[in-house]
Structures are given as C-alpha cells and as structure tokens.
Amino acid sequence: MAGSQGTAYSLLNTGRRQDGTDAQSDPRAHRGQVALGSSHSNDGNRRPAGPGRARHFIAARGDESSARLWPAVLDHLDAPAGRIATYSEVRFAGEGEKLAIPDGGIVVERGKTRWRCLVEVKTENAALRAEQVAGYLELARRNGIDAVLTISNQITSSPREPAVTLDPKVLKKVTLRHLSWWHILTEAIDQSRHRLISDPDQAWILDELIAYLDNERSGASGFEDLGDKWVAVRDGARAQTLNASDAGVREVAARWEQFVQYLALGLRQDLGRDVTTVWPKSLDLGARREAIIAGLAGTGHLTGTVKVPDAVAPIQIDVDLRSRQVTTSIEIAAPREGRSTTRITWLMRQLKDAPSNLRIDVRFPLVKDTTSRLLTAAQERPDRLLLASDPKREPRLFTLALTAPMGVKRGKKSGSFVGESKSQVLDFYRVVVQQIKPWAATAPRLPSPPEESEPEASPRPPDFSAEDTRDPGEGRDPTI
C-alpha cells in the first residue's frame, strides 16, 4: 500500500488525527477523545463545533470507547469481528500520482486476518460525487483494501445502495457501502436506548456522540425536505401539468425514497426493532426510481411502504398531490373461521380506541363488490360492513385507512410536508397498528375421554297401583 511518503506503509501507520498525532498511539482518556468536535464554553456547557468536525466521528478510537457502535456500523460492510482501529486523513501517494487523502480509514484485526476500509465523509448539504467515489474504489483496489464506506446526509434505502450512480464494473473487486448520518445516529440511539450497556463510561460516550450528531450545527442532519424544486413539482402535479421530464421531478422522486427510509429509521429509534422500507422486489434501484417518477407525473401520487417487525401488517403511505391528502393504511387478513358477523366483531373489538375517521374497507372472496364505512358508522351498525347482497358471505380482507390534509410547506416543522407526514405515520402506528393482533386459528382439540359412570341398577318393579304397566315378575332378565 502506498504510504504518506510514497513508500509502502501499513494503514495502521498512516492514520493522523486532526491535531497531527498518530491515531494508534493517542494517549488521551476515553472521555476526552470522543467529544467528536464538541467544545466546552467557560460556563461548562457543551457546544458543538462547526459542521466540518462531524467527519472526525471516524477518528474515535476503536476500543471499548466505541465497542457498541462500531461493530453495528461495520456489520453493514460484512467486516469480520476483531479489534477495531480508526484513523483520519489517511494519505496515499504513488510515483507520478496526485496525493490522495480519504477522510479516514478503518482496520479490523483478528489473529492473522486484517480487514481494511477507506472512509469518505460529507456533511451539511455537500453531496458525494461519483468520480470521487470511483477514484477511492480504484485506490482501494490497487492497494488491496477491502472496502470503501461513504457517509453523508444522503439517505439510501439500504447500506448496499450507493448514494451515487456508478459503473457496475468498479464494484466487482471492492465492497462499497453507504451510511447516512441519520443511519449512524439511529445505530447510536438504538444501542443507547434498547441495548444494555453496563459500563458507565461507554454509556456516557455514546450519549455524547448522540448529543453531538443531534445538534444542527454538527452538519449531520436527518431529512430536511423534498428539495428546492418541491413547490414547483407539487403545484404541477395538482394542476395535472407535470411531465416526467420536467425539472425537479427526478430530484423529488429521489428525495421521496430518502424520506420513506428516514421514517423507517426514526421508527427504529423509538421501537428498538429493525424497521425497513419495502419496495417491489422485481425492480432494481434505477427501475424503482423510474416507477416513482411515472406515478408522480402520471397520477400525482407518491407511494411507499414501511414494515415493522411483528406488526400486524406493513404501513402503506400514499401521498395524493392532486387532492393534497396523505393516506396511511394497512391490510389485514380476516379470520378464516366463524360466521361473517363473528369475523366483523373480531376486528371491531380491536378498534375501540381508534380515531373515529378511520375508514374500514372490506373485501369478499369471489366477488368484486366491497363495503366501506367510517369507524363511527361501523361501531353503530357492524352489519353495515357485510355484503348487502349476501350478508352470510365471509369477509376475506380488511383495509384500515386514515386520511389527513397534506403539509405544503418546506422544511420539517409544523405545517410542512415532512413534519405533517411524519406525525401522521407515527400517530397511525400508535393508535391503530400497534393495537391490533393478527388472527390465529384455534388449535384443534382432541376428543375428551369418556367419563366413568356408576353401573346402572336394574329397573325396579312398577307400583302395583300403576295402570297399563307390566306386572311384577315381568321385568327383563338382569343377566342379559
């Protein structure tokens, strides 16, 4: 591997911290080294430094100070388990070549195995450039480095999806992964809130990192809005004058994908479960983007799906830019046994605290007709959800949908598209989705063993005065 002087150096020996000290020999204690760019004023309050300092997240020591977070991050890169060391401003130079300085490097060592990765970091609105990422992939290939990790505020649906468009050929020899700052913050919050951290120093350090990344001055933001073309695209869709080739349509489609992933990661922060986005499996990244553009220009709709593990169903999000409404919904399979009224009652019992404007749609097998009622009407007369032409036909599928006005402003505060849509998804999950348990069939039961009974005594003779009966002595033979 080319080193900082044009000679062969190990990546272990080329990492430099911002102050110029060697990363491996940095003697500072854990609490001092993981402030990650934060500074303290004379009054003792922590104040994050400028956004450029967020890149030094990668310079946090890979020992017990980051024992929780780094393995979670490196798991996305298929890195082996082992001792982790991290470095900033790794320098590469070859004969006749321009000096290359990736923002950082990671080394994982276990026995004789050494896994290495280059890191490129962007903050605030700075976007990764395809030519720069391709250059680092080639640099890694030439030097036998295993992976390249990019970090920016660009949110992708999966760490395996690059934030830039690249020639597939450059990805054959070196692993490329991308993590947004929002994803890294989510990993940190997940570890802090939902995983047991017994070491108080580790817990303190992780909370310092969370506080830093959560501050807007760090430059490591979540999701701001759908871009500066959002208003024009929004209004064009409503007026039905929007074309797929119009300026901003592709950008809004890309940012919509980022927004859906932003919601999934935000839910993971609160739930402590691996919430994921769901897109058609038959579509690759390019085809998926084209499908979103076609829906946006053709019908004025943006759609996406978020799946929470063990929830009754994935949450479907449908934004109608023409009517300026956002609908969140789930589809639930109806019970497979019981009468039609029993199956309706099963659902209504679980919606007793749901909002009154929740819409219930019911589908039935072998017919196209459906029924639809708001929850208030269905609570008064559950039989209105049955098929009018055949009330005994059992329901097959329930759709629960909640529609609200769309936020129209930019940004992510109250009244904005991002703020209002986020609130609707969270409220829908809280008051509807998490309250419902899926139907489960009752286990088949074995027949009960016959009860043992006392042997019957032989019938006694009738009273002598009884009429139309046998006489004494005419009883049945007790031995038979």
Least confident of 207-216, 288-297, 401-410: 207-216
378, 346 contact by CB (below 8 A):
no
> What's the average model confidence in pLDDT over 289-303?
96
Look-up of token digits 């004023």: 41
Work out the pLDDT band at 479, boundaries 50, 70, 90.
low
- 356, with CB counted inside 10 A (0-12, 13-18, 19+), is exposed
Q: What is the pLDDT of residue 45?
A: 44
pLDDT band for position 465 (cuts 50, 70, 90): low
Classify residue 409 by its DSSP letter: B
pTM summary value:
0.80
Region 209-236: what's the mean pLDDT? 88
Using the predicted structure, report yes or no on whether residue 84 has a pLDDT greater than 60.
yes
pLDDT tens-place string over residues 370-385: 999 999 999 999 999 9
CB-based contacts of 157, cutoff 8 Å, min separation 6: 257, 260, 261, 277, 279
**Bigger pLDDT: 275 vs 55:** 275
Helix segments in 351-433, DSSP class H: 375-380, 417-431
Instruction: State yes or no: pLDDT of 61 exceeds 70.
Output: no
Spatial distance between the Cα atoms of 34 and 137, rounded to a whole number of angstroms: 29
Is pLDDT at 26 greater than 60 in this prediction?
no
Comparison of pLDDT for 234 and 63, the residue scoring more: 234
Alpha-helix residue ranges (DSSP H) falling in 121-179? 130-142
Closest among 264, 188, 224 to 426, alpha carbons compared = 264
| pLDDT above 60: residue 58 | no
Q: What confidence category does residue 171 fall into, taking pLDDT thresholds of 50, 70 and 90?
A: confident
What's the rounded Cα separation, in Å, for the pair 210 and 204? 10
pLDDT at 361 over 50: yes
> What b/e readout covers 163-189, taking b as 16+ CB neighbours within 10 angstroms?
bbeeeeebeeebbbbbbbbbbbbbbbb
pLDDT attached to residue 67: 54
